[in-house]
Amino acid sequence: MNNIMIPLNEMPVGSLGKVKKLISNGSIRRRMLDLGLIIDTIVEVLRTSPSGDPTAYQIRGAVIAFRSEEASQIFVESILPE
C-alpha cells in the first residue's frame, strides 16, 4: 500500500481501494454508511456508464452506482489485488 488517499472517482476501472475517509455530511453520509462504506471496506471499480457518470462499484458483495460528485467524497487508499 502506498498510504496516499485519493477520491474514489479518480480510481481507474478494475482497481481496488480501501475506504479511509468520508467527507460527506447529512443524508448522503448516512446512505454511504448504510451501504457499508466504513473505514477499511474494500471497493472495486467495476465500470462506468457510456456517458462516464455514474460509475458502478462492488462494495461488500453488492454492486452500487455513485455519481462522480458522491464518489469524490469517499477517499480511498489504492491496493493491489490479491
Where in the chain are the domains?
5-79
Homologous superfamily (CATH) of 5-79 is Ferrous iron transport protein A (FeoA) (2.30.30.90)
Q: Give pTM, 2 decimals.
A: 0.86
Q: DSSP letter at 3? A: -
pLDDT digits (tens, 9 = 90+) for 17-55: 999 999 988 898 999 999 889 999 999 999 999 988 999
Question: How far, CA to CA in Å, does 52 sit from each of 21, 29, 31, 34, 65?
Answer: 24, 23, 22, 25, 12
DSSP letter at 10 equals G
Residues paired with residue 70 on neighbouring β-strands, in sequence order: none
For residue 73, report the phi and psi dihedrals to the nearest 5 degrees.
-95, 5
Mean of pLDDT over the chain: 90
